[in-house]
Amino acid sequence: MPRLPERLLMAAGLSLLLLPLGLVINPELGLGPLAGLWLSGTLLGWLGLSFRILLWGSGLCAVLIAAVVFTPLTRTLAEGLIVNEAPQKADLIVVLGGGMHCGVGELEASSLARLEKGLELWRAGYAPRITLSPTFRTPQP
């Protein structure tokens, strides 16, 4: 078992693996809560039993992160989200507006691709109307 100062340093490093986990749970966590999560993981890891739990937990997190990043697991899981159905007649075509900058009049590439597909469906007669959903962004402090 490492000595106390070494264990504190190791706990501080291992508790850094808690930060991606915290962001997965709540992607809008600010710097303060993330620092609190790191500090609490460090202090809990300083204790004997908690250190072992932190060591095993961080190892498990590292293996899971590696499995997502370095294997085709992400692609396999995302395949269930892809819908390959023929378009059907509807009352309205809604094009999602993510990546649309209304004040500037610019479209990001992903937004432009969605708009082009929506216009293609509208011209083909799948719906009599087409609309763009607004992009809601929280104001930055």
Q: 106 has which bridge partners?
A: 101
What average pLDDT does the structure give for the chain? 79
pLDDT band at 26 (very low <50, low <70, confident <90, very high): confident
Span 14-43, average pLDDT: 78
With the CA atoms of 121, 122, 123 and 125 taken in that order, what torsion angle do they form, in degrees rounded to the nearest 10? 90
Is residue 54 scored above 80 in pLDDT?
no
CB 131 within 8 A of CB 93: yes
Residues in a beta bridge with 46 = none
The highest-confidence range among 18-22, 23-27, 33-37, 124-128, by mean pLDDT, is 124-128
pLDDT of residue 135: 62
Task: State the average pLDDT over residues 112-135.
Answer: 90
Counting Cα atoms < 13 Å in the Cβ hemisphere of 99 gives: 11
pTM of the shown model: 0.44
Q: What amino acid is encoded at 71 in this protein?
A: T
